């Protein structure tokens, strides 16, 4: 029998719908693969009993002719999503053994549509990181290795469990979240596809908050089509999220394969950063050529405030985080470390419960919001954010349909290689993705090819607000032209 786990989500969906394959058979294959892939540390909690029970219920619905659009398809869920009755930690010690009495809106929509949960996926603690190394459960090991080397590489972050699990065929697709690049950078590092939708497209309700004006949920999956299928179920208006967009969700899959002829694609000259490798430069050129060959017009554009996006982000995001994470005080949930009075209880709890990177970001956020520094840092950063958004608005007003950039400045790096002494070294990973969060726009990362060392490299397409469909159409062109990257060798089992 062929390996069921190698199917794309669309292939599995069609096989299940045609009753060529039961959800139970499919789910068993994944439960088995998940167990064998433990050396990757992609799952922080496996839920095989739940998965098989959900699969059985799916098979019953299929038999009755009551199947949903994701019926019987096994997914992995980033541990930032609250799952009712299933431990949710944001991969932080401070949440301890938190078992949510509620379900996040996005996951509830996946279950509504028939999907099956395989377990909870590793991520950087509170989604703060670009390599999945800040997780309280330890780093995720990428299924990818450099040609001729067995050095362990990072799968990107913060959604590193999601990207590794998809690349390693231990789920059909995964949920992820993106605050500065946390969907697109890990997708690029693992040869998978990930979309950060427009701010407001997916409900934030029930997703552990990092920086609320930047956080957005989205999928990571094997193909552009799989992303389109998943996003349709994940997206939609939710009265419980005050910034949720009240607009209809299109059938995104229809946009996959649609013509891109005559579309204008912007190439922002400011993304040609100092020290960009020849390999990334060549990948970018190749991406433009693929879109041109499909009938799109390539236009050079300017986004003059690009270089300020990352520093402004490192004011805005920590500021919001310091406020959001004030709730972890050892009173209502999670870990409590006693102290001589209530303040020392708070201080001991938070010192013990938060990891190094999270503590650092809370402190930076506290500083930039403190009396005397608020205007110099926070207000200035928010003004620069306005300028960044205006840059995009001006480009789109010229009739540009989407913007093409590299997804990351390099291929995946080794575990323990970056950010040891200087945190900014790690932050620079998000230099191409963070602008999109600052402006609230949609962005998709699609594999464009392999590096000289045999590692995946990703391209990013940035769209107009709520025009994810154009990104799916353009992303499909790149996927077809570049070909899906070869799956990594299964060295872990």
Partner 1 sequence: MSVDSATVRRIAHLARISVNEDEIAPLQNELNAILAFVEQLNEVDVAHVEPMTSVTPMQLRQREDKVTDGHYPNKIVANAPLTEDHFFLVPKVVE
Q: Which is nearer to partner 1, 30 or 392 (CB)?
A: 392
Q: From the candidates 92, 108, 130, 158, give the one annotated as an active-site residue.
A: 158
Site for partner 1 in 291-310 (CB under 8 A): 305, 307-308
- Which residue in this structure is represented by tokens 């080794």? 414
Q: Which is nearer to partner 1, 100 or 268 (CB)?
A: 100
Q: From the candidates 22, 78, 108, 120, give the one annotated as an active-site residue.
A: 78
Which residues, in sequence order, are bridge partners of residue 161? none
Task: Single out the residue of 314, 226, 274, 280 nearest to residue 404, CA to CA.
Answer: 280
For 325-344, b/e burial (b = at least 16 CB within 10 A) is beebbbeebbbbbeeeeeee
350 scored as a contact of partner 1 (CB under 8 A): yes
Structure tokens at 198: 């427009």
420 scored as a contact of partner 1 (CB under 8 A): no
# binding residues, partner 1 (CB under 8 A): 73
Among 144, 346, 413, 432, binds partner 1 (CB under 8 A): 346
The rounded distance, in Å, linking the Cα atoms of 153 and 136 is 18
336 scored as a contact of partner 1 (CB under 8 A): yes
Q: What would the x/- binding string for partner 1 be over residues 426 to 465, using CB under 8 A?
A: -x-----------xx------------------------x
Q: Which is nearer to partner 1, 16 or 368 (CB)?
A: 368
**CB distance 253 to 228 below 8 Å:** yes
The rounded distance, in Å, linking the Cα atoms of 150 and 313 is 35
Compute how many other C-beta atoms are within 10 angstroms of the C-beta atom of residue 69. 17
Let me know if 78 is a catalytic residue.
yes
Among 125, 133, 253, 329, binds partner 1 (CB under 8 A): 329
Among 146, 264, 286, 359, binds partner 1 (CB under 8 A): 359
**Chain center to CA of 42:** 14
Task: Give the 3-state secondary structure of residue 44.
Answer: strand
Stretch of residues binding partner 1 (CB under 8 A), selected from 69-77, 262-270, 322-330, 409-417: 322-330
Task: Single out the residue of 212, 229, 208 nearest to residue 220, CA to CA.
Answer: 229
377 scored as a contact of partner 1 (CB under 8 A): yes
**How many helices, marked H, and strands, marked E, lie in the chain?**
15, 11
Instruction: List the 456-463 sheet strands across, edge first.
Output: 43-46, 116-121, 74-78, 173-178, 216-221, 193-196, 443-450, 456-463, 402-406, 264-268, 297-301
Q: From the candidates 22, 108, 182, 244, give the one annotated as an active-site residue.
A: 182
416 scored as a contact of partner 1 (CB under 8 A): no
Site for partner 1 in 189-218 (CB under 8 A): 198-200, 213-214
**CB distance 105 to 206 below 8 Å:** yes
Among 106, 384, 402, 446, binds partner 1 (CB under 8 A): 384
89 scored as a contact of partner 1 (CB under 8 A): no
CB of residue 482 to partner 1, shortest distance in Å: 32
322 scored as a contact of partner 1 (CB under 8 A): yes
**Residues marked as catalytic:** 78, 158, 182
């Amino acid at each position: 029998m062929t390996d069921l786990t190698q199917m794309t989500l669309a292939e599995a969906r069609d096989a299940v719908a045609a009753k060529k394959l039961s959800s139970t058979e499919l789910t068993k294959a994944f439960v088995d693969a998940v167990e064998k892939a433990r050396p990757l540390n992609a799952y922080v909690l496996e839920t095989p009993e739940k998965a098989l029970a959900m699969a059985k219920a799916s098979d019953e619905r299929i038999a009755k002719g009551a199947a949903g659009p994701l019926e019987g398809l096994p997914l992995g869920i980033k541990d930032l999503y609250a799952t009712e009755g299933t431990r949710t930690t944001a991969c932080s010690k401070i949440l301890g053994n938190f078992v949510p009495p509620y379900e996040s809106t996005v996951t509830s929509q996946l279950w509504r549509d028939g999907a099956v949960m395989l377990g909870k996926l590793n991520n950087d603690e509170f989604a703060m990181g670009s390599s999945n190394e800040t997780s309280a459960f330890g780093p995720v090991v990428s299924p990818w290795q450099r040609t001729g080397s067995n050095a362990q590489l990072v799968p990107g972050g913060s959604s590193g469990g999601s990207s590794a699990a998809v690349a390693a065929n231990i789920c059909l697709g995964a949920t992820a979240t993106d605050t500065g690049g946390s969907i697109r950078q890990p997708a690029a590092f693992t040869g998978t596809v990930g979309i950060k939708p427009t701010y407001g497209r997916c409900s934030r309700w029930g997703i552990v908050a990092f920086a609320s004006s930047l956080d957005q949920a989205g999928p990571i999956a094997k193909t552009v089509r799989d992303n389109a299928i998943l996003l349709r179920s994940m997206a939609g208006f939710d009265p419980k999220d005050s910034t949720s967009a009240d607009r209809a969700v299109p059938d995104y899959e229809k946009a996959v394969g649609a013509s891109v002829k005559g579309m204008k694609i912007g190439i922002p000259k400011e993304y040609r950063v100092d020290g960009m490798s020849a390999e990334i430069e060549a990948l970018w050129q190749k991406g433009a050529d693929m879109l041109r060959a499909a009938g799109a017009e390539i236009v050079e554009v300017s986004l003059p405030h690009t270089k300020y996006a990352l520093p402004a982000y490192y004011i805005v995001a920590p500021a919001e985080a310091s406020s959001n994470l004030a709730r972890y005080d050892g009173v209502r949930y999670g870990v409590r470390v006693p102290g001589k009075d209530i303040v020392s209880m708070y201080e001991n709890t938070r010192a013990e419960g938060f990891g190094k990177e999270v503590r650092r970001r809370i402190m930076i956020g506290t500083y930039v919001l403190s009396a005397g520094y608020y205007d110099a840092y926070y207000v200035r950063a928010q003004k620069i954010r306005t300028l960044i958004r205006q840059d995009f608005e001006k480009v789109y007003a010229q009739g540009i349909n989407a913007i093409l950039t590299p997804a990351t400045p390099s291929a995946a790096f080794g575990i323990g290689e970056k950010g040891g002494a200087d945190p900014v070294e790690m932050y620079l990973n998000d230099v191409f993705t963070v602008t999109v969060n600052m402006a609230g726009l949609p962005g998709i990362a699609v594999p464009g090819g392999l590096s000289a060392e045999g590692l995946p490299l990703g391209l990013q397409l940035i769209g107009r607000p709520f025009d994810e469909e154009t990104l799916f159409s353009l992303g499909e062109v790149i996927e077809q032209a570049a070909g899906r990257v070869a799956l990594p060798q299964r060295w872990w089992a």
